[in-house]
C-alpha cells in the first residue's frame, strides 16, 4: 500500500543515513518526509485493509475488505485490488480479523457498576454519578467494542450531560441513547431522583413532556401494571407525539398485556418469573401486533445472559478480579463493589434465578417465533454485571445456549438497534456515508462468537480508541 511517506521516498535508510546525501538533498528529503508525515497525521483519512467484513446487513462476509474513512464518516467500502487506498490515508491492517459495525447494547445502566446492594449504592453515590461513575462505565462499554448503548433509567440531568459530553467529544465513551428516569406508579423509597411516580393522566403527559423537552432519546416504563390503563395510554401517546419510542419492562403478564394495548415499542427482559412459558393470550396479542406492517416492528430485548450466567459466575468469579472494570473508578468504589460481591451465592437479587433458568430457552424461542425483532441488551451494571463483559456474554448465550445463528445475533447487536432508535441512516452497518463506528477482532467471529471478549480495534466516528 502506498502512503504519502512512500511517495516522498521516506524509507528508514534514507532518513537515518544522512551521509548518503549531500546536505541540500538531505534537507529536501527530510522536508518532504516531514510534510508527508504531517499530511498523514493531519489528513483525516484512514483505511482498514485486509480483514473479513461483516457489514451488518446479513449477507456473506467480504474477504480482503477495504474500508476508507474520511473524518467521522465511512467514505467507501470495497476490496483490495479494486478499491485503491488514497496515498495520504493512514493504513490500519485488519489482516486475520473479523471487521464489523460497532456493537450496540440496548439495555445498560451506566449509573450502576455491578454492586450487589442497590439501597447502599443509591444513597451513597448520587454525587459521583455524573462526574465519575457514568463516564467510567460509558468508557468501559466503548473499550469493550460497544460503540452505542441505550441507557435505561438514570437521573435526568446526569443522563443528558454525560450523553452530550460524549457526543461532543469531551469525554470518551459509547454513544448513549438515554431515557432519563423510569416512569412508574410509585418510586421505591430513596430512588426518587431517578424514578418518577405517575399520578394521573395529566401528570403522565406532563412527565413525558418534561423528559422530551430535556432531550431524552426514549421513554422507559416499569411496573406499568400498577398504573391505570389511561396513564399508560397517556405516556405512550404523548411519547409518540414527540417521536420518542417507549421501552417497557415485561416482568409480569399484565405489564405485557397493558403495554401491548397502549402501543409500547420495545419490551425488556424475558420475565414471567418461573412460569414455563408465555400464556396463549399474550402470544395471540403478540401475533396481532407483529402482523401490523404499517408501524415499526415490535422490538424485544430479552436480556438472558444475566440470568443464564448467574450460576457460572457464582462458581467461577474470576471476573470480579478483572481490572478492566476498574478503569475510571476510584479505589474506594472498586473496593466497595468487590466487598459487596464476596458471597454471590447468598445474594437475594439472584435467589429466583436458578429456578427461572430452565424456562429461559423456551420463552426466548416463543418470542422469536412471535415475530418480534429481538435485540441484544444486557442489564449491564446490575449485580456482577460489569460493562466490560456483558455485551459479548449476551451474544455468546444467544449463539451457544439459545441456538441463534451468529449472523443473526450480530445483526441484533448492530443493524436492528440502529433501526429501533431510528438512526440506521447514520450508524449500524459499515456503509459509505455512515459514521465510522467499526470494531475488529482477530479470528472468525461467525465461528467463535466469544472472540468478541477481546476486541482488537475500536473506532467510533472515525476516531480510534483501541
Ligand atoms: Zn434494567
Cα-to-centroid distance, 163 and ligand 1 (Å): 18
* Per-chain mean pLDDT for the chain: 92
Cα-to-centroid distance, 350 and ligand 1 (Å): 14
Cα-to-centroid distance, 17 and ligand 1 (Å): 61
Is the pLDDT at 25 greater than 60, yes or no? no
In the structure grid, which three cell numbers stand for residue 445, read together? Answer: 467471529
Cα-to-centroid distance, 415 and ligand 1 (Å): 22
Burial class (CB in 10 A: 0-12, 13-18, 19+), 403: exposed
386-427 pLDDT, tens digit each: 999 999 999 999 999 999 999 999 999 999 999 999 999 999
Is the pLDDT at 338 greater than 80, yes or no? yes
Cα-to-centroid distance, 388 and ligand 1 (Å): 16
Cα-to-centroid distance, 248 and ligand 1 (Å): 10
Cα-to-centroid distance, 108 and ligand 1 (Å): 6
Question: Under 8 Å CB-to-CB from 404, ≥6 apart: which residues?
Answer: 368, 398, 412
Mean pLDDT of 44-71: 98
pLDDT of residue 7: 33
DSSP string, 69-88: EETTEEEEEEETTTSPPPTT
pLDDT band at 246 (very low <50, low <70, confident <90, very high): very high
Is the pLDDT at 314 greater than 90, yes or no? yes
pLDDT of residue 43: 73
Cα-to-centroid distance, 431 and ligand 1 (Å): 31
Mean pLDDT of 266-289: 97
pLDDT of residue 9: 32
CA distance linking residue 298 with residue 292, whole number of Å = 9
Cα-to-centroid distance, 109 and ligand 1 (Å): 6
Torsion over CA: 53, 59, 63, 66 (sign): negative
Cα-to-centroid distance, 222 and ligand 1 (Å): 9
pLDDT of residue 23: 38
Judged by average pLDDT, the poorest of 13-22, 115-124, 394-403 is 13-22
pLDDT of residue 17: 34
Mean pLDDT of 265-289: 97
Cα-to-centroid distance, 419 and ligand 1 (Å): 21
The closest of 428, 462, 434 to 54, measured between CA atoms, is 428
Here the contacts of 448-455 (C-beta below 8 Å, separation 24 or greater) are: 449/392, 449/395, 449/396, 449/399, 449/400, 449/406, 449/409, 450/392, 450/395, 450/396, 450/400, 451/98, 452/103, 452/145, 452/391, 452/392, 452/395, 452/396, 453/389, 453/392, 455/144, 455/145
133-188 pLDDT, tens digit each: 999 999 999 999 999 999 999 999 999 999 999 999 999 999 999 999 999 999 99
Cα-to-centroid distance, 430 and ligand 1 (Å): 29
Mean pLDDT of 20-44: 48
Mean pLDDT of 460-464: 97
Cα-to-centroid distance, 379 and ligand 1 (Å): 5
248-261 pLDDT, tens digit each: 999 999 999 999 99
pLDDT of residue 223: 96
pLDDT of residue 37: 47
Is the pLDDT at 10 greater than 90, yes or no? no
Torsion over CA: 290, 300, 399, 178 (sign): positive
CA distance linking residue 338 with residue 433, whole number of Å = 44
Judged by average pLDDT, the poorest of 23-27, 105-109, 341-345 is 23-27
Give the end-to-end CA distance of the chain in Å, rounded to a whole number: 22
pLDDT of residue 2: 34
Percent share of the chain, pLDDT over 70: 91
Amino acid at each position: 500500500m502506498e502512503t504519502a511517506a512512500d511517495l516522498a521516498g521516506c524509507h528508514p535508510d534514507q532518513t537515518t543515513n544522512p551521509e548518503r546525501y549531500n546536505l541540500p538533498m538531505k534537507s529536501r528529503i527530510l522536508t518532504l518526509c516531514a510534510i508527508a508525515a504531517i499530511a498523514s497525521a493531519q489528513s483525516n483519512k484512514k483505511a482498514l485493509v485486509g480483514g473479513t467484513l461483516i457489514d451488518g446487513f446479513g449477507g456473506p462476509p467480504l474477504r480482503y475488505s477495504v474500508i476508507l474513512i474520511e473524518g467521522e464518516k465511512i467514505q467507501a467500502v470495497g476490496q483490495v485490488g479494486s478499491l485503491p487506498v488514497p496515498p495520504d490515508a493512514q493504513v490500519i491492517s485488519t489482516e486475520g480479523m473479523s471487521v464489523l459495525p460497532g456493537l450496540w447494547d440496548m439495555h445498560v445502566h451506566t449509573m450502576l457498576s455491578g454492586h450487589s446492594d442497590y439501597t447502599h449504592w443509591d444513597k451513597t453515590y448520587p454525587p459521583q454519578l455524573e462526574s465519575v461513575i457514568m463516564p467510567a462505565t460509558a468508557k468501559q462499554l466503548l473499550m469493550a467494542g460497544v460503540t452505542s448503548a441505550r441507557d435505561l433509567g438514570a437521573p435526568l440531568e446526569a443522563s443528558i450531560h454525560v450523553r452530550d459530553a460524549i457526543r461532543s467529544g469531551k469525554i470518551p465513551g459509547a454513544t448513549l441513547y438515554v431515557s432519563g428516569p423510569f416512569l412508574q406508579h410509585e418510586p421505591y423509597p430513596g430512588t426518587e431522583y431517578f424514578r418518577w411516580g405517575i399520578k394521573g393522566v395529566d401528570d403522565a403527559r406532563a412527565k413525558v413532556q418534561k423528559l422530551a423537552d430535556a432531550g431524552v432519546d426514549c421513554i422507559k416504563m416499569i411496573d406499568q401494571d400498577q398504573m391505570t390503563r389511561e396513564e399508560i395510554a397517556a405516556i405512550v401517546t404523548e411519547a409518540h407525539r414527540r417521536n420518542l419510542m417507549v421501552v417497557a419492562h415485561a416482568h409480569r403478564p399484565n405489564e405485557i398485556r397493558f403495554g401491548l394495548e397502549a402501543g409500547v415499542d420495545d419490551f425488556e427482559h424475558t420475565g414471567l418469573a418461573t412460569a414455563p412459558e408465555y400464556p396463549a393470550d399474550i402470544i395471540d396479542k403478540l401475533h396481532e401486533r407483529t402482523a401490523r406492517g404499517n408501524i415499526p416492528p415490535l422490538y424485544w430485548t430479552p436480556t438472558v445472559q444475566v440470568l443464564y450466567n448467574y450460576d457460572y459466575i457464582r462458581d467461577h468469579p474470576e471476573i470480579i478480579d478483572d481490572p478492566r472494570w476498574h478503569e475510571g473508578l476510584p479505589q474506594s468504589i472498586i473496593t466497595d463493589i468487590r466487598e459487596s460481591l464476596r458471597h454471590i451465592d447468598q445474594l437475594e437479587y439472584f435467589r429466583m434465578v436458578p429456578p427461572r433458568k430452565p424456562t429461559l430457552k423456551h420463552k426466548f424461542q416463543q418470542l422469536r417465533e412471535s415475530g418480534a425483532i429481538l435485540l441484544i441488551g444486557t442489564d449491564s451494571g446490575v449485580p456482577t454485571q460489569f460493562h466490560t463483559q456483558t455485551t459479548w456474554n449476551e451474544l455468546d448465550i444467544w449463539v451457544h445456549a439459545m441456538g441463534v445463528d451468529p449472523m443473526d445475533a450480530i445483526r441484533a447487536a448492530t443493524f436492528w438497534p440502529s433501526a429501533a432508535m431510528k438512526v440506521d441512516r447514520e450508524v449500524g452497518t459499515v456503509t459509505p456515508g455512515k459514521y465510522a463506528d467499526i470494531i475488529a477482532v482477530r479470528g472468525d467471529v461467525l465461528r467463535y462468537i466469544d472472540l468478541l471478549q477481546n476486541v482488537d480495534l475500536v473506532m467510533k466516528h472515525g476516531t480510534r480508541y483501541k
